[in-house]
Amino acid sequence: MMESITLLRENAARISLPLLLMHGSEDNLVPITASHFINDNATSQEKKFEVFEGSHHETLHDKEQERARELIKEWVLSHLTAAQVTEPHSQSDSSAETETARQQAQEEIVKGSKQPGSAENTSVTDSL
């Protein structure tokens, strides 16, 4: 545990990518101060920190699991929509490819969110 705290303190400022933090207010495994520390020290320009009141460590399997899943879905989709293709294609080709990829990802996320506890849904949420 102390090693994890040290790593967190030493590296939080290195987090520069978009960041979604979710923490249950009743989490007895990880203190909420850890999430506050990450939120306060990460250099990411896009940070969202959501506290789930009354939830424990596994917010995706707790009182507000639907809100947690919806938050993740909206956050991921908002970042997929903003993504840009960096491969050298014409602008119209890149836009079409980006839109197709975004739509496919959205369909998969929606499909997974309709099947709580399914293997597909679990693998998506476990990787987050």
> How much is the pLDDT for 109?
66
User: In terms of C-beta distances under 8 Å and separation of at least 24 residues, what long-range contacts does 117-122 make, across chains too?
Assistant: none
The pLDDT tens digits for 67-83 are 999 999 999 988 886 55
Lowest pLDDT segment from 7-11, 16-20, 58-62 = 7-11
Asked whether the CA dihedral 4, 7, 8, 9 is positive or negative, the reply is positive
Query: Can you read off the two tokens belonging to residue 64?
Result: 């507000």
The pLDDT tens digits for 94-106 are 566 667 776 777 6
Domain residue limits, the chain = 2-127
Other CB atoms closer than 10 Å to residue 1's CB: what's the count? 7
Identity at 121, one-letter amino acid code: N
The pLDDT tens digits for 11-40 are 999 999 999 999 999 999 999 999 999 999
| CB-CB contact of 28 with 57 (8 Å) | yes
2-127 in CATH: which number?
A: 3.40.50.1820
